A and B are shown apart, each in its own frame.
Chain A
């Protein structure tokens, strides 16, 4: 019986993207068998296991070798062994070599039990005589798996990782360029031979790390351009992959000082969205339903439909810090261009699919009910002055002066209200353009020779609205190239192609199917600038 602080993946079923607080760690993870294994109801070769207690988190991710005997067996076996073993180790930033040596020895010891397990494992597909003969031959050679082990401890400010094989790890630092680790493909653990090939190991100071994202090689969309997974919603596109996919992302909650935390009722539920009143525009918040972390975003507004996947429970949020602006992307206004009205902050933040437009058009009534601006609300009762008649010239004169004074006040405030309403109206007009996105004609024109940043081209996407309401923009023939698209309405030029991690003002495409959750506007796409980094 597993306790609440332990998790062992079932290799026979898919695991929808999940996020949760595990002690002082915030975890996001998912698992999907390959399409073929799902179809043929065969166990997945990937395996994920973790446990946490106090300041510590222990986890293992394994990828069984399908070219050997029942890779799923070795994956589960070694995954569980690693978790048990790691809980007795004293991992610190300094003793990496010792840990690696001890792990190598343990890997050899486990071959005995591993071999016994393999010998007692029945074949699952019985109707293929040739297949059975080949599998029995493989059985004698043992079952093999790759693995990645992690031991994290916030009190020791230490994170230790070791691995055999090509399970990948993306390390996002707070203030440094990220690490991306891929082990040797041919390294693995065998129930017959123990460790095969060389092991890698590495340790980090946990306080220097923003996020670790570990995934098996089936996660194709990150093969070329890995990025950290920081919200559950970023995993929604995984479905029927060619190979098993396991993704496991870790943030340590303690490194960010929680500024304030709120529970119900400090939010308002509107028709289509939920707004967290106390959050400032430039703050990042983490939204929970009970302990399930639903989203992390720099927005105070969330669509109600985003909460559908969450279970029932208390809605609450934490403010975890202010948005960090990219420092290396310079924004330069083009001369002679009219300045556009400023959009809400989250309209320009395009790399966070979780963030939604602040006002969603109602499909029945395309113009959302216009809420009165607070200033307007305050002044709506200031209208007519009641002039009390008092006889006498002096009093009449005083009255006239007073009336004129109030008249001036009212006129000034009326002008202010009109100005504010005009701004609100301007914003609404802009926001309503979201509705035009699904009607974009599926045409894509990309001059293949573009290698620099500033050539404007027309680019249109095919937009498909999926069953779950997610809008997917298809960009044919752009599967392998990393491409940046700069929305036309930003009126800036980029002097150089930014680093991936700094390209927050850009839409980043590394897959023919990408999702923006309704973030693209037609005007962005019609006149977007597109650039393909030099290879």
Chain B
């Protein structure tokens, strides 16, 4: 069954890859704070939620594994040893502060993500039993070195396991992008139309449309978990989020970890 319903458990953990743009422009300000700092804060928030969900009473259940890839001119996946590590292990080592600098080599970063995913899915247990992995790509601008990332992004989206195709999500941190501002993040339904043109404006519009087309549709199970957390994203809405405010950046990171998991109220695993 490929409907993204497999649960994140100790035996079948969820796998998330965060591909983070650390190029020079991430040092630019957004609402009085560097974009990289917003990202770091949002990442901490998401990891915090993952760990919170991993404790039943005082017992820890390692149900989330993450991989972090940062990129500028070069790609670095050493934070998570070029693979996946348990989220608590990453947390205990401290949330990294990103030092922006250099160009934007998105293509190489996604190639690294593909390599890590391919290695992960070579494990038959993961392929058959674990939730479909998710790639969360965070950037603030178009690639300017390394070539067009679209082909490798499409290749990633064709990877599959029993739970479904690999999910691909984009967070585009920039201001002045939206044609119509989002007033209430909690009640926002997401980009529900397939016509991306209507949503964006300004000189970043074309790349926003590219990222929109690169993004998967939000699975029903994810929408359900988000609803439980007070967000109203529609099933099938595009997993592309405009990072025009910290609240939206947080929403994107929370969405990235919305694999269904055992109900904490009743399940001690």
Pairwise interchain contact A66-B60, C-beta atoms closer than 8 A: no
Q: In the complex, how many residues of chain B place their beta carbon closer than 8 angstroms to a beta carbon of chain A?
A: 19
| Residue of B with least CB distance to A69 | B57
Interface-facing stretch out of B210-218, B230-238, B259-267? B259-267
List chain B residues, Cβ under 8 A from A185: 263, 265-266
Q: How far is the CB of A238 from chain B (nearest CB, A)?
A: 15
List chain B residues, Cβ under 8 A from A45: 57, 268
Is A37 an interface residue, CB under 8 A from the partner?
yes
Interface-facing stretch out of B28-36, B48-56, B147-155, B164-172? B48-56
Q: How far is the CB of A122 from chain B (nearest CB, A)?
A: 11
**B52, B263, B266, B267: the one within 8 Å of A134 (CB):** B52
List chain A residues, Cβ under 8 A from B266: 63, 166, 185, 217-218, 243
Cα-based distance from A212 to B169 in the complex (angstroms): 50
Q: A34-B268, A185-B263, A243-B268 given as contacts; is B58 within 8 A of A42 (CB)?
A: yes
| Binary contact track A28-67/B, C-beta < 8 Å → 1, others 0 | 0000001011001010010000000000000000010111
Cα-based distance from A146 to B263 in the complex (angstroms): 14
Pairwise interchain contact B91-A65, C-beta atoms closer than 8 A: no
**B53, B58, B264, B267: the one within 8 Å of A131 (CB):** B58
List chain B residues, Cβ under 8 A from A217: 266
List chain B residues, Cβ under 8 A from A478: none
**B51, B53, B56, B59: the one within 8 Å of A130 (CB):** B51
List chain A residues, Cβ under 8 A from B264: 65-67
Cα-based distance from A128 to B89 in the complex (angstroms): 12
Pairwise interchain contact B60-A131, C-beta atoms closer than 8 A: yes
List chain A residues, Cβ under 8 A from B59: 36-37, 40, 42, 125
| Binary contact track B122-166/A, C-beta < 8 Å → 1, others 0 | 000000000000000000000000000000000000000000000
Is A135 an interface residue, CB under 8 A from the partner?
yes
Cα-based distance from A90 to B75 in the complex (angstroms): 72
Pairwise interchain contact A125-B58, C-beta atoms closer than 8 A: yes
Is B6 an interface residue, CB under 8 A from the partner?
no
Is B88 an interface residue, CB under 8 A from the partner?
yes
> Which residues of B, 87-127, contact A by the 8 Å Cβ criterion?
88, 91-92
Is A360 an interface residue, CB under 8 A from the partner?
no
Pairwise interchain contact B51-A134, C-beta atoms closer than 8 A: yes
Cα-based distance from A188 to B267 in the complex (angstroms): 15
**B55, B91, B263, B269: the one within 8 Å of A135 (CB):** B55
List chain A residues, Cβ under 8 A from B56: 66-67
Pairwise interchain contact A66-B92, C-beta atoms closer than 8 A: no
**B55, B263, B265, B268: the one within 8 Å of A244 (CB):** B268
List chain A residues, Cβ under 8 A from B268: 34, 36-37, 45, 66, 242-244
Is A186 an interface residue, CB under 8 A from the partner?
yes
Q: In the complex, how many residues of chain A place their beta carbon closer than 8 angstroms to a beta carbon of chain B?
A: 33
| Binary contact track B233-266/A, C-beta < 8 Å → 1, others 0 | 0000000000000000000000000000001111
Pairwise interchain contact B57-A42, C-beta atoms closer than 8 A: yes
Cα-based distance from A123 to B55 in the complex (angstroms): 13
List chain A residues, Cβ under 8 A from B265: 65-67, 146, 165, 185-186, 188
Q: A63-B266, A166-B266 given as contacts; is B58 within 8 A of A124 (CB)?
A: yes
> Which residues of A, 142-167, contact B by the 8 Å Cβ criterion?
146, 165-166
Cα-based distance from A218 to B263 in the complex (angstroms): 12
Pairwise interchain contact A71-B51, C-beta atoms closer than 8 A: no
Is A91 an interface residue, CB under 8 A from the partner?
no
Cα-based distance from A37 to B267 in the complex (angstroms): 12
| Residue of A with least CB distance to B263 | A185
List chain A residues, Cβ under 8 A from B88: 130
Cα-based distance from A135 to B58 in the complex (angstroms): 7
Pairwise interchain contact A242-B269, C-beta atoms closer than 8 A: yes
Is A528 an interface residue, CB under 8 A from the partner?
no
Q: How far is the CB of A465 from chain B (nearest CB, A)?
A: 29
List chain B residues, Cβ under 8 A from A72: 57
Is A530 an interface residue, CB under 8 A from the partner?
no
Cα-based distance from A63 to B266 in the complex (angstroms): 8
List chain B residues, Cβ under 8 A from A36: 59, 268-269
Q: How far is the CB of B5 from chain A (nearest CB, A)?
A: 14
Is A294 an interface residue, CB under 8 A from the partner?
no
Is A250 an interface residue, CB under 8 A from the partner?
no
Cα-based distance from A134 to B88 in the complex (angstroms): 12
**A128, A218, A242: the one within 8 Å of B60 (CB):** A128
Is A485 an interface residue, CB under 8 A from the partner?
no
Cα-based distance from A131 to B59 in the complex (angstroms): 8
Is A118 an interface residue, CB under 8 A from the partner?
no
Cα-based distance from A71 to B52 in the complex (angstroms): 15
> Which residues of A, 227-281, contact B by the 8 Å Cβ criterion?
242-244
Pairwise interchain contact B57-A130, C-beta atoms closer than 8 A: no
Cα-based distance from A186 to B263 in the complex (angstroms): 10
Cα-based distance from A265 to B267 in the complex (angstroms): 50
Cα-based distance from A87 to B222 in the complex (angstroms): 46
| Residue of A with least CB distance to B48 | A134
List chain B residues, Cβ under 8 A from A123: 58
| Residue of B with least CB distance to A167 | B266
Pairwise interchain contact A243-B92, C-beta atoms closer than 8 A: no
| Residue of A with least CB distance to B92 | A130
Is A431 an interface residue, CB under 8 A from the partner?
no
List chain A residues, Cβ under 8 A from B269: 34, 36, 242
Cα-based distance from A188 to B266 in the complex (angstroms): 11
Is A22 an interface residue, CB under 8 A from the partner?
no
Is A355 an interface residue, CB under 8 A from the partner?
no
Cα-based distance from A129 to B94 in the complex (angstroms): 13
List chain A residues, Cβ under 8 A from B267: 66, 242-243
Pairwise interchain contact A130-B91, C-beta atoms closer than 8 A: yes
List chain B residues, Cβ under 8 A from A71: 57
List chain A residues, Cβ under 8 A from B92: 129-130
Q: List 17 A-B contacts (CB under 8 A).
A: A36-B269, A37-B268, A40-B59, A42-B57, A66-B265, A66-B268, A67-B55, A67-B265, A70-B58, A72-B57, A124-B58, A129-B92, A130-B92, A134-B51, A165-B265, A217-B266, A218-B266
Going nearest first, the 3 A-B pairs with the smallest beta carbon separation are: A67-B264, A66-B56, A125-B58
Residues on A facing B (Cβ under 8 Å)? 34, 36-37, 40, 42, 45, 63, 65-67, 70-72, 123-125, 128-131, 134-135, 146, 165-166, 185-186, 188, 217-218, 242-244
Name 11 extra pairs, CB < 8 A, besides A67-B53, A128-B58, A243-B267.
A42-B59, A45-B268, A65-B265, A67-B55, A67-B56, A129-B92, A134-B51, A135-B58, A185-B265, A243-B266, A244-B268
